[in-house]
Amino acid sequence: MTQGKVRAILHIDMDAYFVSVELLTRPELKGKQIIVGHPGERSVVLSASYECRALGVKSAMPMSIAMRMAPHAIVIEPSQGLYSMYSAKIMEIFREVTPLVEQLSVDEAFLDVTGSIRRLGPPEKIGQMIRARLRSELGLPASVGIAASKFVAKVASTGAKPDGMLVIRPEQTLAYLHTLPVGALWGVGAKTETVLREMGVTTVAQLAQTPQNTLSRRLGATGVHLHNLAWGLDDREVETEREEKSIGAEETFAIDLWDEDELRREILHLAHRVGARLRAAGKVAGVVALKLRYADFSTFSRSRTLPVPSNGATELVAAAEGLLEKLGPRPQAVRLVGIRAEKLGDAGGGMQLSIDPREEHWRQTEVTMDLIRSRFPAGALRPASLLDHGQKEKKPEQGS
């Protein structure tokens, strides 16, 4: 913490991020009910427009339930590579404001702007400037919470949605927190909330007045942590070295899959998705992991170290297919397949040029494909063997 100064922390959360990115290439759909996800009863909602959220649709909700709530919603297949590309641009804007950026996900970050105030003005001016740049340069809306700690800044950004900004000054912190339900605190999931409700605690104010040892007896270390949050105590620093440890993609099939050729086509599709995300993040993978989940939900994973770290789909496919063979004959139909790139490094320093001209040709082709996808809707360009890919119903697993 900066000595003698109250920190100024921004929590910036892009609004309905996947939907907002899709609308950049589909402006005619603005104001309509939009769901991003794969159609099919076994799919889940990845993101929903605020028009759908007003009807009760939420992220991670089964698509079958979402479509009953919003039967007229337009379902858009996700463009994972596009989301990663815009995420990199968003984080670049943040880092031009301050080097103290902690990226939490593709569309969310903490910024410590304490050291930027002298140059750029008060925190609220910085927040407005960032929101304006995201709008003018990328066409994307964002909500900003500003406070003296990470926890309160995140709570404030939630209160600012959609497309707003909320400043909680240090002297306002407790008054604001104590108006909230206990579920607003980090660490209060469904089980913890049930325990607290049994104790007669439903608000942050009630939690703050509950003796810490009482909470500790019922919830262990979590109780102490929640008691501190209820009093606005959170001295965690913005962690600038927080990076993704892996990048992956998974697909769950609507109908369990037996066909070996179809399975290999799916691996090819996933490898291109993972490769695009690696390149957008400026990363290369040192290890490739393959996961198969069978019809009975048994799951098997294998991994392989690449001879040279890479972000090319060709190398990812070769490794994944080798792992598929290592798993041996399929004992039953496949419900899910996934590829994950691990042991990530920076592309600038971790990648060797190949002496095989064919590999360099494919690498350049994939970079060109990334550029074309950035200007046109995802799915406009793909390997010839995947031209009819996507007609089968499937969904990405949560976290892919």
Which residues does the annotation mark as catalytic?
A: 108
Which amino acids are annotated as binding site, given as ranges? Answer: 13, 107
**Dihedral in degrees, nearest 10, Cα atoms 16, 77, 29, 384:** 130
Conformation bin of residue 390: beta by default, left when phi > 0, alpha when psi is -120 to 50? left
Which amino acids are annotated as binding site for Mg(2+), given as ranges? Answer: 13, 107
- The Cα–Cα gap between 377 and 380 comes to 6
- C-beta of residue 9 within 8 angstroms of C-beta of residue 146: yes
- Residue 309 CA: distances (Å) to CA of 247, 251, 313, 367: 14, 24, 12, 16
Torsion sign, CA atoms 61, 63, 67, 73? positive
Neighbours of 30 (CB within 10 A): 12
Overall residue count recorded for the chain in this entry: 400
Q: Encoding tokens for residue 369? A: 């494909």
Q: Quickly list H helices, 98-189.
A: 117-120, 123-133, 150-160, 173-177
Under 8 Å CB-to-CB from 108, ≥6 apart: which residues?
A: 11, 12, 13, 14
- C-beta of residue 161 within 8 angstroms of C-beta of residue 13: yes
Q: Encoding tokens for residue 209? A: 């007045």
- Residue 221 CA: distances (Å) to CA of 190, 203, 213, 218: 17, 19, 10, 9
On the CB side of 147, CA atoms within 13 Å amount to 29
Under 8 Å CB-to-CB from 120, ≥6 apart: which residues?
A: 97, 113, 126, 129
